[in-house]
Amino acid sequence: MNPDTANPASARVALVTGAAKRLGREIALALADAGWDIAVHFHQSHAEAEETASAIRSRGRRAACFPCDLAHEDQVKALLPDVLRYFGSVRCVVNNASVFDYDGAQDFSFGRLDAHMHTNLGAPILLAQALHAATPDGGQGVVINLLDQKLYNLNPDFLSYTLSKAALQSAIAMLAQALAPKVRVVGVAPGLTLISHMQSREEFASAHGLSPLGESSRPEEVAQAVVFAAQNRAFTGSTMLVDGGQHLIRFDRDFSMMNRNQ
């Protein structure tokens, strides 16, 4: 039984974007295990979102699915109010969903940049804005932005993606100042965590081992960092790197592009 059901205003509710699968699902389940009810955001993966919600309910927490195309401002502005109407309150937003499409200096364009900026930067800022408006005086909410260790170890691959995440990293400090004391704003920067559509299993395993600790981050380790960020009231305006130390090693290419001639 969910102890918060009788008093929604006191419930710990987290909106996790991109929670239908992969790392977003791991984060949603870890938060549920830590006592949070979960708003499962998805874009096109409705069936997977329902599976995530079912897994959360099996843990004794409330869960519901919310569709939204994060590239569209009107839909993003409607997302948190939709969650509020269902749950009665929201205390945490995890900006996990992102666009990750390849470009470089030679094929960069305004269109490629815009596609990344809307979802990876604009949507997280609008959701932070909405959480601040929804947080009562005397309360405290938290926005957790998923970043990338490559911000600390730059290479020229995925130019528009990297620029969008670099802007989001800068926004963390700015929003942490602007939205305090009602909302904390923090970052979690994983290393290579899950295989990409551009890697073979062998390539992933090889790149995952390139770190001082002998392996990079696992999904459950990133999720644990998000849970810590959600629940530590003194943590704001900075970012945790959870990458096995990969940011300490210089790489000339993105992990997805190693051993490729592009």
pLDDT at 32: 98
Amino acid at 32: A
pLDDT at 202: 81
Distance CA 64, CA 240 (A): 29
Q: Who contacts 194 (Cβ-Cβ below 8 Å, separation ≥6)?
A: 22, 23, 219
pLDDT at 94: 98
**Domains of the chain, each with CATH number or no CATH:** 8-257 (3.40.50.720)
Residue whose entry in the numeric block shows the structure tokens 């409607």: 78
pLDDT at 72: 98
Three-class DSSP labels, 231-257 = HCCCCCCCEEEECCCHHHCCCCCCHHH
Low-confidence ranges of the chain (pLDDT < 70): 1-10, 194, 197-198, 259-262
Q: Which residues pair with 16 in a beta bridge?
A: 40, 94
Write down the pTM of the prediction. 0.92
